[in-house]
C-alpha cells in the first residue's frame, strides 16, 4: 500500500452532505466560475476586474471537487482570500495537484485520505520536474493548509484526542492576537510516547504561553525520538539510565554544535520535562531520581552565561533621537502609532497589539491613561499615564478602527487590526514592524555611537523605557508597577543597567581629562583610576538619603528628612521682609516656576522635594493674596520700619 494513503480516516459522508448543502443552490455549485460575472462584484471591491479568466472543476474527481469548492467558497465568504488571489495562487496549483494525485496516488479520493508528511516530498519533486518557477514553499503551504482544513473538518473527536491540536478550540490557551500558528503537532512524536507527550503538554498549556509550549514540545520530540531509536521496545521511560542521558546529550550537541541560547533552553526543557513527570507521579516517569540521571551541569555553559543585566538590549539615546526624527517616513504608515506607543509605554509588542479601541484610553482627574491587559503576568486593565500628544495619536487610531470595524472583520475590537485577507481579524505581524523599522534605518542611515547601522528589535523599546524611568529618578516600586513586573528582581535589572550607563557616560564626559583647582589656585589634572582617593564630589554616587542642593556659597548635603529653615528662600519667613504690590510680577513668576518644579518632582517620584516646593508655593500664594489687595506685607509692621508718632516729630 502507498504510504501516502491514510486508510484509517475515511471520508465522513455526513460531512459530505454538509458541504453539499453549503454550496447547493448557490453560485459555488457551478463547475465553471467566471470571474467576470456580476456575482463577484461584492468580492472584488477596489480590485481589478477580470475579462476572460475562469476556474473550471470538470477534471476533478467527484469528492475532491466538492471539497475544493467548499474550501474556496468558505474562504471567499469570510473574505480571507480575494478573487485575484483565487486566480493567481490557487487555480494553477490545484490543477497541478489533481494531476499529481491521478498519476501518483489514484486511490486517493479525499483530502481526509492523505498522509501529508509522506506525500509532501513527492509533491514538491513533481513541481520541480514540471518546470514551475513559483516558490516550492508556496506550493507546500497551500496544500498543507487544505490538508489541515479537512483533517479538522472530518475529525470530530475531542481536541485532546487528536494528533494535531487547534488551540483556538481549547479555551484555556491564551493565543496572541497576532499569532498565525495555532496548532500543536504531535505527529512527529513516536507512537509509543504520544499519550505521555499529550498529557504533559495539556498541563503546560494552562500555565505557559503558546510559544513556550511549542518550544518545549520541540525539545521533548527530539528526546523521545532518540529514546525510540535507542530502545525501540520501550513504551515508557521507567528504565531510563544515566547512560541514556549521556548518549542523548552527546548526540544533541553534535547535531546542534553552536550552543545558542535557544538550543540550551531546549536541553533545559528536556530536563524539566523529566523532572515534572516524575514530580507529577506519571506512571511512565523514570524510576531513578531525575537529578541522578540528568545533572544540572550537563547543560553546557549554563552556569557561565552572561548575567541577564548584561544581556539587556536597550536603544541608545542617539539612536532614539534619529528614530524620532525620521519616524514620520516609516512605511507602511499604519505602523507609526504602534512604534509611538512602544516608545511611550514600554509594553511588550504583544500587549500593544492587544489594545482594544473601545477601552484603551481612560481619563481621571490626574490626566489620561493607556489601559490594556498584560498577558505575561495576567494583569487585567493595567494603566500607565500618557502625555496629551500620545493620547491624541491613540484616540485618532481608535476612531478610525471603530469606523472600519464590524463583527466579522474585527470581532475582538482590536486597536490595530487587519480588515481583509488571510489575517482578517488579527493584529499586524510583529516581524513586519521590525522589518519596516530596519528598512527605515537603512534608508536614513540610523547608526549607533560607533557609526554602525542600527538593527531594531521591538523588545528593546521595553528595556529602553525601563532604563529611562530609572534614569529620571522614578522609584523601583513605581517602575515595577509601570512595567507590570511580577517581582522586584525583574525591575532591579534596569537599576543595574543604570549603574553601567552612568559610569560609561561619566567616563565619556571626562575622557579628555578632569581638573580641579588647588588651594593655590592652580589647575590640577585628576587621574580617573584614582578618583576614589581624590577630594572630588562624584554626583552619580551621592547617597540616596541626601538632598544635595546647590546653595549660593556651597552645596547642602543634609539628610532629606532634616528640616532646614534657610535652604528654600529664608526671606519668605523672615519678619523683616517688606514687599509691596510693585513686586507682584516677580511673585507671580516665582509661583509659575514653583508649580513646574512640583510637576517635575511628581513625575520623578521625588516626594520630599515635592513636599518642600508645595510649602514654598503656599508661602508665595499667601503673599500674593496680600499684594493683590493693594496692601504692603511686612510682618514687623509700620513701626518696625518707620518712625511713627512722636518719633517722627523728633526726626523733623
pLDDT tens for residues 52-89? Answer: 678 888 888 888 889 989 998 888 888 778 787 777 77
Shortest CA distance to 574 belongs to which of 640, 644, 643? 640
Of 91 and 167, the one with more pLDDT: 167
Q: At residue 602, does pLDDT exceed 90?
A: no
| Window from 173-182, 207-216, 307-316 with minimum mean pLDDT | 307-316
Assess whether 381 and 482 both reside in one domain: yes
For residues 63 and 19, what is the distance between their CA atoms, to the nearest angstrom?
Answer: 10
Assess whether 99 and 233 both reside in one domain: no
Where does the pLDDT of residue 274 fall: very low under 50, low under 70, confident under 90, or very high at 90 and above? very high
In a domain, residue 508? The reply is no
Q: At residue 350, does pLDDT exceed 60?
A: yes
pLDDT at res. 540: 43
For residues 110 and 100, what is the distance between their CA atoms, to the nearest angstrom?
Answer: 14
For residues 126 and 128, what is the distance between their CA atoms, to the nearest angstrom?
Answer: 5
| Window from 62-71, 302-311, 576-585, 617-626 with minimum mean pLDDT | 302-311
For residues 153 and 15, what is the distance between their CA atoms, to the nearest angstrom?
Answer: 8
Pairing state between β 183-185 and 361-364: unpaired
* H-state helical runs in 523-606: 584-604
Assess whether 281 and 329 both reside in one domain: no
Neighbours of 323 (CB within 10 A): 21
Assess whether 361 and 332 both reside in one domain: yes
pLDDT at res. 647: 63
* H-state helical runs in 280-387: 290-293, 308-311, 317-326, 336-345, 349-353
Neighbours of 344 (CB within 10 A): 21
Q: How many separate domains does the chain show?
A: 4
In a domain, residue 546? The reply is no
Which among 416-430, 541-555, 593-607 has the top mean pLDDT?
A: 416-430
Domain end marker among 451, 480, 499:
499
Where does the pLDDT of residue 531 fall: very low under 50, low under 70, confident under 90, or very high at 90 and above? very low
Assess whether 56 and 133 both reside in one domain: yes
Assess whether 171 and 280 both reside in one domain: yes
Assess whether 225 and 117 both reside in one domain: no
Of 404 and 50, the one with more pLDDT: 404
pLDDT at res. 400: 92
Domain end marker among 305, 338, 371:
305
In a domain, residue 2? The reply is yes
pLDDT at res. 286: 95
Assess whether 220 and 327 both reside in one domain: no
* H-state helical runs in 312-429: 317-326, 336-345, 349-353, 388-404
pLDDT at res. 631: 86
pLDDT at res. 283: 94
In a domain, residue 624? The reply is yes
Could you give phi then psi for residue 356, rounded to 5 degrees? Answer: -110, 135
* H-state helical runs in 231-260: 242-255
Pairing state between β 361-364 and 367-374: antiparallel
Per the structure, the complete domain to which residue 242 belongs is given by 164-305
pLDDT at res. 1: 31
Burial class (CB in 10 A: 0-12, 13-18, 19+), 498: middle
Neighbours of 367 (CB within 10 A): 11
Of 601 and 142, the one with more pLDDT: 142
Helix (H) or strand (E) holding 434: helix 430-444
Of 543 and 174, the one with more pLDDT: 174
Assess whether 330 and 474 both reside in one domain: yes
| Window from 231-240, 323-332, 519-528 with minimum mean pLDDT | 519-528
C-alpha cell, 407:
463583527
Of 491 and 341, the one with more pLDDT: 341
Neighbours of 207 (CB within 10 A): 9
- Asked if 194 and 225 touch (Cβ cutoff 8 Å), the reply is no
Q: At residue 197, does pLDDT exceed 90?
A: yes
In a domain, residue 533? The reply is no
In a domain, residue 512? The reply is no
Which among 7-21, 425-439, 456-470, 476-490 has the top mean pLDDT?
A: 425-439
- Block residue for cell numbers 516646593: 613
Where does the pLDDT of residue 416 fall: very low under 50, low under 70, confident under 90, or very high at 90 and above? very high
Assess whether 211 and 253 both reside in one domain: yes
C-alpha cell, 111:
483530502
Assess whether 374 and 290 both reside in one domain: no
Domain end marker among 111, 137, 156:
156
In a domain, residue 651? The reply is no
In a domain, residue 259? The reply is yes
| Window from 455-469, 512-526, 597-611 with minimum mean pLDDT | 512-526
Assess whether 267 and 124 both reside in one domain: no
Amino acid at each position: 500500500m502507498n504510504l501516502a494513503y491514510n486508510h484509517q480516516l475515511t471520508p465522513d459522508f455526513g460531512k459530505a452532505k454538509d458541504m453539499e448543502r453549503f454550496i447547493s443552490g448557490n453560485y459555488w455549485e457551478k463547475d465553471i466560475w467566471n470571474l467576470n460575472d456580476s456575482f463577484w462584484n461584492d468580492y472584488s471591491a477596489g480590485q481589478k476586474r477580470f475579462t476572460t479568466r475562469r476556474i473550471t472543476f470538470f477534471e476533478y474527481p467527484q469528492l475532491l471537487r466538492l471539497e475544493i469548492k467548499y474550501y474556496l467558497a468558505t474562504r471567499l465568504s469570510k473574505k480571507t482570500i480575494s478573487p485575484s488571489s483565487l486566480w493567481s495562487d490557487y487555480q494553477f496549483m490545484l490543477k497541478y495537484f489533481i494531476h499529481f494525485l491521478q498519476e501518483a496516488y489514484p486511490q486517493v479520493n479525499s483530502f481526509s485520505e492523505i498522509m501529508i508528511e509522506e506525500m509532501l516530498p513527492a509533491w514538491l519533486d513533481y513541481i520541480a520536474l514540471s518546470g514551475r518557477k513559483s516558490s516550492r514553499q508556496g506550493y507546500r503551504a497551500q496544500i498543507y493548509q487544505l490538508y489541515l482544513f479537512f483533517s479538522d473538518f472530518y475529525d470530530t473527536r475531542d481536541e485532546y484526542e487528536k494528533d494535531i491540536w487547534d488551540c483556538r478550540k481549547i479555551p484555556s490557551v491564551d493565543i496572541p492576537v497576532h499569532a498565525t500558528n495555532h496548532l500543536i503537532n504531535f505527529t512527529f512524536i513516536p507512537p509509543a510516547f504520544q499519550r505521555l507527550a499529550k498529557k504533559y503538554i495539556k498541563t503546560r498549556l494552562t500555565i505557559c504561553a503558546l510559544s513556550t509550549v511549542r518550544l518545549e514540545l520541540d525539545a521533548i520530540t527530539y528526546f523521545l525520538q532518540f529514546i525510540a531509536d535507542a530502545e525501540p521496545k520501550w513504551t515508557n521511560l521507567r528504565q531510563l539510565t544515566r547512560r541514556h542521558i549521556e548518549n542523548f546529550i552527546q548526540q544533541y550537541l553534535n547535531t546542534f554544535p553552536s550552543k545558542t541560547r535557544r538550543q540550551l533552553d531546549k536541553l533545559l526543557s528536556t530536563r524539566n520535562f523529566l523532572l515534572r513527570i516524575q514530580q507529577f507521579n506519571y506512571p511512565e516517569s523514570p524510576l531513578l531520581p531525575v537529578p541522578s540521571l540528568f545533572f544540572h551541569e550537563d547543560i553546557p555553559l549554563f552556569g557561565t552565561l552572561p548575567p541577564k543585566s548584561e544581556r539587556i538590549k536597550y536603544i541608545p539615546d542617539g539612536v532614539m533621537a534619529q528614530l524620532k526624527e525620521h519616524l514620520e517616513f516609516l512605511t507602511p504608515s499604519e505602523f507609526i502609532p504602534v512604534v509611538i506607543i512602544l516608545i511611550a509605554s514600554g509594553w511588550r509588542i504583544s500587549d500593544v497589539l492587544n489594545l482594544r479601541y473601545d477601552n484603551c484610553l481612560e481619563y481621571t482627574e490626574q490626566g489620561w491613561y493607556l489601559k490594556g491587559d498584560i498577558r505575561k503576568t495576567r494583569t487585567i486593565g493595567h494603566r500607565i499615564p500618557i502625555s496629551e500628544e500620545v493620547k491624541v495619536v491613540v484616540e485618532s487610531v481608535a476612531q478610525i478602527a471603530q469606523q472600519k470595524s464590524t463583527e466579522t472583520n474585527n470581532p475582538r475590537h482590536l486597536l490595530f487590526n487587519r480588515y481583509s485577507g488571510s489575517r482578517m481579524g488579527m493584529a499586524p505581524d510583529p516581524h513586519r514592524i521590525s522589518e519596516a523599522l530596519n528598512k527605515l534605518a537603512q534608508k536614513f542611515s540610523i547608526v549607533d555611537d560607533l557609526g554602525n547601522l542600527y538593527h531594531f528589535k521591538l523588545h528593546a523599546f521595553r528595556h529602553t523605557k525601563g532604563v529611562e524611568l530609572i534614569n529620571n529618578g522614578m522609584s523601583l516600586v513605581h517602575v515595577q508597577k509601570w512595567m507590570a513586573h511580577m517581582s522586584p528582581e525583574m525591575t532591579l535589572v534596569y537599576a543595574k543597567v543604570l549603574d553601567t550607563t552612568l559610569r560609561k557616560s561619566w567616563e565619556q564626559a571626562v575622557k579628555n581629562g578632569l581638573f580641579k583647582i588647588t588651594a593655590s589656585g592652580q589647575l590640577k589634572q585628576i587621574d580617573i583610576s584614582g578618583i576614589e582617593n581624590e577630594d572630588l564630589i562624584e554626583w552619580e554616587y551621592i547617597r540616596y538619603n541626601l538632598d544635595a542642593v546647590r546653595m549660593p556659597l556651597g552645596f547642602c548635603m543634609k539628610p532629606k528628612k532634616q528640616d532646614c529653615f534657610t535652604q528654600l528662600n529664608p526671606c519668605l519667613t523672615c519678619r523683616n521682609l517688606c514687599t509691596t504690590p510693585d513686586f507682584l510680577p516677580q511673585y507671580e513668576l516665582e509661583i509659575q516656576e514653583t508649580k513646574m518644579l512640583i510637576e517635575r518632582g511628581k513625575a520623578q517620584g521625588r516626594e520630599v522635594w515635592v513636599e518642600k516646593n508645595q510649602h514654598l508655593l503656599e508661602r508665595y500664594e499667601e503673599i500674593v493674596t496680600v499684594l493683590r489687595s493693594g496692601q504692603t506685607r511686612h510682618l514687623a509692621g509700620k513701626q518696625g520700619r518707620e518712625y511713627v508718632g512722636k518719633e517722627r516729630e523728633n526726626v523733623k
